[in-house]
């Protein structure tokens, strides 16, 4: 058992976490005369290391996930979801969201398509919440930075929020609050052509390029913010605002995430820096979930598809769910850190 643990720690630290790369970059910066223990040198090391690591992992993960996704085009996904009923359908939709696009604005068109095709509203909302919040790529990247327990916990609670929120929306029977052009749309049942292995590889490559172009600016911004927090903001400031001494830290973190727009890959460097400065785990998870689920751009896009009352219910349920999860993880902070 100890041998397996050692192997896994090596994979987590050196393969996924690329600790060797951090050391290599630090040595290189020291060789050219930068003090990596100082603010400027440390910020440069943090920035180069995190950007390189995230980009390498991102491209590899997008390729693998997109290859898997090629087996689940929208029409096939709709048919799969149509076979489930009740909370099982919400769970299936949330799980499907883990192998679909990487930000909420990419998921909303699929949400509209699924709703137009006649899938239950709560099921489509479970998909919409899960898709940007939780994906296979985030699981691997979270493991590389925070460790296995935190990564799995984040994915599990993300799926729970997606399933519970979708189930509640279904119970409220709010179908009439979907915009008319979506409810009246006609579903066209077209069988997708069978893709060859070469086609799937080409699709995966195209997704890598497209997604990289879309998220790279947010990675740069996220890592930049993380570098500033990590090397320039005093630790006691973070502890006062987001630490255990502030009972409103979770609420502040949730509200702070709303104006931002980034996918999970852009929020992880910020979360990494906050955790190193003393912010509580639940507060950080609440911030990440708010950014990926409740960002203003995605809410604006969703507003075109649903009426204000349904939009308000969606925002309210997600906000309450994220806040509760944040406080719960703060209570059990010691089990994960």
pLDDT of the chain along its 337 residues, tens only? 677 777 877 777 777 778 888 899 999 999 998 888 888 888 899 899 988 988 888 788 778 877 877 777 766 777 777 777 788 888 988 888 877 655 555 667 777 777 777 788 888 889 888 887 787 777 777 887 778 888 888 888 889 999 999 999 889 888 888 887 676 655 544 455 677 888 888 988 988 888 788 778 878 888 888 888 877 777 777 777 777 778 888 988 888 877 666 666 678 888 888 888 888 888 888 888 888 788 777 787 788 788 889 889 988 988 888 898 899 888 887 777 6
Whether 97 contacts 123, CB under 8 Å: no
Q: What DSSP designation does 119 have?
A: -
Task: Report CA-CA distances (Å) from 231 to 21, 69, 219.
Answer: 19, 39, 18
| Three-state DSSP class for residue 280 | coil
Please report where in the chains the tokens 């997708």 appear, as a residue.
192
Q: How many other C-beta atoms are found inside a 10 Å radius of the C-beta of residue 161?
A: 25
- 37 falls within a domain: yes
Q: How many other C-beta atoms are found inside a 10 Å radius of the C-beta of residue 282?
A: 26
Residue 198 to residue 330: CA distance in whole angstroms: 47
- 190 falls within a domain: no
- 281 falls within a domain: yes
- 16 falls within a domain: yes
HSE of 290, CA atoms in CB hemisphere, 13 A: 26
Residue 149 to residue 262: CA distance in whole angstroms: 24
List the domain range (segments joined by +) for residue 133: 2-185+197-336
Please report where in the chains the tokens 């489930």 appear, as a residue.
84
pLDDT at 28: 92
**Number of domains within the chain:** 1
Task: List, in order, residues 6 or more apart from 83 with CB less than 8 Å away.
Answer: none
- 289 falls within a domain: yes
- 165 falls within a domain: yes
Query: Nearest 5°: CA angle at 213, between 208 and 218?
Result: 115
pLDDT at 163: 93
Least Cα distance to 273 among 242, 237, 228 occurs for 228
């Amino acid at each position: 058992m100890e041998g397996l643990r050692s192997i896994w720690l090596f994979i987590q630290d050196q393969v996924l976490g690329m600790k060797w790369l951090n050391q290599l970059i630090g040595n290189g910066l020291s060789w050219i005369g930068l003090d990596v223990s100082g603010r400027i040198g440390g910020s440069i090391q943090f920035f180069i290391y995190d950007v390189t690591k995230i980009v390498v992992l991102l491209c590899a993960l997008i390729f693998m996930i997109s290859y898997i996704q090629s087996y689940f085009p929208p029409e096939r996904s709709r048919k799969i979801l149509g076979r489930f009923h009740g909370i099982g359908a919400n769970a299936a939709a949330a799980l499907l969201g883990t192998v679909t696009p990487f930000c909420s604005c990419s998921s909303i068109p699929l949400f509209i398509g699924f709703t137009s095709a006649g899938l239950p509203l709560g099921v489509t909302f479970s998909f919409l919440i899960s898709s940007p919040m939780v994906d296979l790529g985030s699981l691997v990247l979270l493991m590389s930075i925070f460790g296995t327990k935190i990564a799995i916990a984040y994915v599990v609670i993300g799926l729970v929020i997606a399933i519970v929120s979708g189930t509640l929306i279904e119970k409220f029977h709010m179908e009439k609050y979907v915009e008319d052009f979506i409810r009246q749309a006609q579903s066209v049942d077209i069988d997708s052509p069978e893709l060859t292995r070469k086609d799937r590889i080409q699709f995966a490559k195209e997704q890598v390029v497209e997604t990289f172009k879309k998220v790279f600016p947010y990675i740069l911004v996220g890592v930049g913010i993380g570098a500033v927090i990590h090397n320039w903001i005093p630790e006691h400031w973070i502890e006062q605002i987001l630490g255990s001494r502030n009972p409103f830290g979770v609420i502040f973190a949730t509200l702070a995430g709303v104006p931002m727009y980034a996918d999970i890959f852009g929020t992880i460097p910020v979360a990494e820096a906050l955790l190193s400065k003393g912010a509580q785990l639940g507060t950080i998870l609440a911030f990440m979930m708010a950014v990926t689920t409740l960002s203003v751009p995605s809410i604006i896009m969703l507003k075109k598809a649903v009426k204000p009352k349904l939009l308000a219910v969606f925002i309210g349920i997600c906000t309450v769910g994220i806040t509760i999860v944040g406080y719960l993880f703060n209570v059990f902070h010691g089990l994960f850190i």
